[in-house]
Chains A and B, each alone.
Chain A
Amino acid sequence: MEKLSKQKIQKGLEVLKRDVGSKLLTNVNACVHCGLCAESCVYYRLKPDEHFVPAKKVDIVSSVYRRYHTLGGKLTPWLTKARKLDDATIEDMVDLLYGSCTMCGRCNKHCSVGVDIEYLVRTGRAMLAEMGYVPETLQKTVDTALSTGNNMGIPTDEFVDTLKWLEEDLQFEVNDDTAIIPLDEKGKDIMYTLNPREPKFFPLSISAMAKVFYAAGESWTLSTKMYDVTNYAYFSGNLEEGRVIAKRMEDEMKRLECKRCVLAECGHGSRAFRWEAPNYLEKEMPFEVDTSVELLAEYIREGKIKVDPQKNQELVTLHDPCNLTRGGGVYEEQRYILKNCVANFAEMDPTGTDNLCCGGGGGQLSMSEYNERRMGIGKLKADQIRSTGAAVVATPCHNCVDQLLQINAANKLNVKIKTLAEIVADAIVLDNEEQPKEN
């Protein structure tokens, strides 16, 4: 680890000064060290060790706050274990805040006091980011997004080629040569975004959504310049980089003169743009921002698409992405969609805003140095899936899809992992489709 300089310490402490508001002040003073939050954390559930108690994450940030911002912390640091921001503290911060937390926010809900633990983790990560201590693997993902426009570094021509191939696939699927995947078209109602994992690894989820748009007769477009819904700077804690990425999306919406920005199935991406980007940019977005989950539910509710649940006969369960559900309030919609698109559905236990994180959040999928912990947590999710008896796990998040695929393989679950768009696309009844004959 790089040696600390006075300037670096100052930069880290500036975050506590910059962000000081009622919320920070409250959360650094509210924890009573009862330790009852322990079981709410997937890391602790897997390995009941003092290191993984969420209150430890609270304490490392608030102890630094106490040391520099309270009289007691300055005069009698021993009384409250107020810590100096030194090499040892930073080493602990990196492991606790990056390596032992998926920022799933489950602990917030179960804290006996109501401390926003996830918020303090983000504050701590922001301090580390200012000082240059973001794990290289995570920073690399942010850097790729900054330098290429998407976090996978997909060149535009490769992206366009993929979409052209998918367009042909769509035409074949819907039996209509006029079906298209519109690119960079101005003045459409919707600008749809993607998780770069889709063009790179899961192109069928793009064709699934394109089929839904086709069936709904939607006026939509994709941008070839800025389509990446993710914002890994939200995980790294670098406010400035988060702002740059958010601004690009806003600018692209303006350039293409679209009315509504629809965010692909990506938990953190939807949170980062819908809820955090306005805070990064310190203004309300001048257009509507919705998640594709809400859009799919809207299409079904308003009869814009016809779906037949009998087309999906296998037992389906649902993994709620933390940032979409606990952090974004979207949890009825995915259930409404599944109720209408699958014949058999089983909830996990716990579920909804109580659901366990799959382990892929908080940037963990990027930080290979913590792979063992991440896959360990995955065992909890594997147990949850197994106990439902489901053959298909639906999840509206591509990061979760990636983690669930790895969990599936590592734990020999033999289940299929699907996005909601894929399930809806499978259930769609097109107008030109032959209706099943009634007996």
Chain B
Amino acid sequence: MDWYLWMAIIGLGVCLLSCVYHFYRIISLGNPPEYARRSGHIGKAVRYSFTGAMSPKVKESAYLHMPTYMAGIIYHIGTFLAIFIFLLSLFGIWLSGMVMYIAAGILALSALSGFGILIKRIGKNELRSLSNPDDYISNILVNLFQLFTALAMIDESFIPAYFIISAILLLYFPLGKLKHAVYFFAARYHLGYFYGWRDVWPPKPIKK
């Protein structure tokens, strides 16, 4: 097996271990203590937290920022697609034909969205002030991962570079904001739990 493939496998191992560690830590610490008498339904609220509450119709962060929101959605679809292709590639399976070109197109679009988000981060004062080096590094690594996934599918000569970039991304995962891949789910859970306890979620409709 080629050395760069080994690098990618080691990277995947580190990344998975990190995910398992963070998940284990969150789960082992349990639910936050709530001693007040519960008035809502936790299960329904958590479900709402992952579904209705994520709707762009109810989130200002989405409907007031549609271009950024759409770029973010495409970017994340591209990331999940790239991860799927990466896992296949470890077994020597590569997409081909029309499917490959469609996947490459999606990845190119998502990488472009990622670069758009990066440019916004650099260009907008308040985002620049909020950002740290990790924000830029994480974004660039994911952009490159998506781009090189597309290139490696189309042209074999990009495969070594593709696996090296994948390895760097996976090894970097435990160090910075990429961990939100784990904490996003925990945050949605906790918000649902909190609002569910108090019967804020799922929302009761207000007739105007």
Given known contacts A80-B176, A283-B35, A328-B200, is B208 in contact with A22 (CB within 8 Å)?
A: no
Given known contacts A79-B175, A112-B62, A114-B191, is B198 in contact with A22 (CB within 8 Å)?
A: no
Given known contacts A22-B29, A35-B126, is B39 in contact with A329 (CB within 8 Å)?
A: yes
A347 at the interface (CB under 8 A from B): yes
Q: How far is the CA of A119 from the CA of B35 in the complex (A)?
A: 17
Given known contacts A283-B35, A329-B199, is B61 in contact with A34 (CB within 8 Å)?
A: yes
What A residues does B64 contact at CB under 8 A? 36, 39
Inter-subunit contact B200/A326 (CB<8 Å): yes
A-B pairs with lowest CB-CB distance, top 9: A278-B35, A36-B61, A329-B199, A50-B126, A22-B29, A81-B132, A30-B183, A26-B186, A30-B187
Inter-subunit contact A53/B130 (CB<8 Å): yes
Chain B min CB distance to A164 (Å): 35
Residue of chain B at shortest CB distance from A351? B206
A245 at the interface (CB under 8 A from B): no
1/0 per residue A88-111: CB within 8 Å of B? 000000000000000000001111
* Residue of A25, A30, A115, A282 with most partner-chain B CB within 10 A: A30
Chain B min CB distance to A37 (Å): 6
Q: How far is the CA of A22 from the CA of B31 in the complex (A)?
A: 7
Residue of chain A at shortest CB distance from B178? A32
Interface size class of B (residues with CB under 8 A): 35 or more
1/0 per residue A12-54: CB within 8 Å of B? 0000000011110111011111111111100000001110010
A160 at the interface (CB under 8 A from B): no
A78 at the interface (CB under 8 A from B): yes
Residue of chain B at shortest CB distance from A330? B199
Inter-subunit contact A352/B206 (CB<8 Å): yes
Q: How far is the CA of A141 from the CA of B98 in the complex (A)?
A: 70
A275 at the interface (CB under 8 A from B): yes
Residue of chain A at shortest CB distance from B135? A33
Residue of chain B at shortest CB distance from A118? B194
What B residues does A285 contact at CB under 8 A? 36-37
1/0 per residue A41-85: CB within 8 Å of B? 000000011100101100100000000000010001011110000
Chain B min CB distance to A355 (Å): 10
Given known contacts A36-B61, A39-B64, A116-B194, is B25 in contact with A25 (CB within 8 Å)?
A: yes
1/0 per residue B190-208: CB within 8 Å of A? 1100110011100110111
Inter-subunit contact A353/B200 (CB<8 Å): yes
A335 at the interface (CB under 8 A from B): yes
B177 at the interface (CB under 8 A from A): yes
A111-163: which residues lie under 8 A (CB-CB) from chain B?
111-116, 119
* Residue of B22, B34, B132, B199 with most partner-chain A CB within 10 A: B132
Inter-subunit contact A23/B190 (CB<8 Å): yes
Inter-subunit contact B29/A50 (CB<8 Å): no
What A residues does B207 contact at CB under 8 A? 335
Inter-subunit contact A25/B29 (CB<8 Å): yes
What A residues does B187 contact at CB under 8 A? 26-27, 30, 113-116
Inter-subunit contact A275/B130 (CB<8 Å): no
Chain B min CB distance to A55 (Å): 6
Inter-subunit contact B134/A79 (CB<8 Å): yes
* Residue of B22, B59, B133, B207 with most partner-chain A CB within 10 A: B59
Interface size class of A (residues with CB under 8 A): 35 or more
Q: How far is the CA of A335 from the CA of B206 in the complex (A)?
A: 8
Question: Beyond the given A81-B133, A110-B60, A352-B203, could you list 19 further A-B residue pairs with CB under 8 A, ordered by the A residue number?
Answer: A25-B186, A26-B26, A27-B187, A29-B22, A29-B183, A32-B135, A33-B127, A39-B60, A55-B130, A72-B176, A79-B137, A113-B184, A115-B187, A275-B198, A282-B33, A329-B200, A332-B204, A335-B207, A353-B200
Residue of chain B at shortest CB distance from A56? B130
Q: Is the interface of B mostly helix, strand, loop or mixed?
A: helix
What B residues does A55 contact at CB under 8 A? 130
Inter-subunit contact B126/A49 (CB<8 Å): yes
What A residues does B79 contact at CB under 8 A? none
Inter-subunit contact B130/A22 (CB<8 Å): no
B91-109: which residues lie under 8 A (CB-CB) from chain A?
none
A331 at the interface (CB under 8 A from B): yes
A309 at the interface (CB under 8 A from B): no
Which residue of A81, A110, A119 contacts B59 across the interface (Cβ within 8 Å)? A110
Q: How far is the CA of A83 from the CA of B180 in the complex (A)?
A: 20
B1-43: which residues lie under 8 A (CB-CB) from chain A?
22, 25-27, 29-37, 39-40
Q: How far is the CA of A331 from the CA of B199 in the complex (A)?
A: 10
Inter-subunit contact A112/B33 (CB<8 Å): no
A308 at the interface (CB under 8 A from B): no
Given known contacts A39-B60, A79-B133, A353-B200, is B35 in contact with A284 (CB within 8 Å)?
A: yes
What B residues does A329 contact at CB under 8 A? 39-40, 195, 198-200
Residue of chain A at shortest CB distance from B68? A36
1/0 per residue A266-305: CB within 8 Å of B? 0000000011111101111100010000000000000000
Given known contacts A29-B179, A56-B130, is B31 in contact with A50 (CB within 8 Å)?
A: no
A182 at the interface (CB under 8 A from B): no
What B residues does A31 contact at CB under 8 A? 180
Inter-subunit contact B61/A111 (CB<8 Å): yes
B188 at the interface (CB under 8 A from A): yes
Inter-subunit contact A79/B35 (CB<8 Å): no
What A residues does B203 contact at CB under 8 A? 352-353
B125 at the interface (CB under 8 A from A): yes
Residue of chain A at shortest CB distance from B184? A113
B160 at the interface (CB under 8 A from A): no
B129 at the interface (CB under 8 A from A): yes
Q: How far is the CA of A101 from the CA of B70 in the complex (A)?
A: 29
Q: How far is the CA of A40 from the CA of B179 in the complex (A)?
A: 25
Q: How far is the CA of A335 from the CA of B178 in the complex (A)?
A: 43
Q: What would 12 A/B residue contacts be, using CB atoms closer than 8 Å?
A: A22-B190, A26-B187, A27-B190, A35-B126, A35-B127, A80-B176, A113-B180, A116-B190, A116-B191, A276-B36, A277-B36, A329-B195
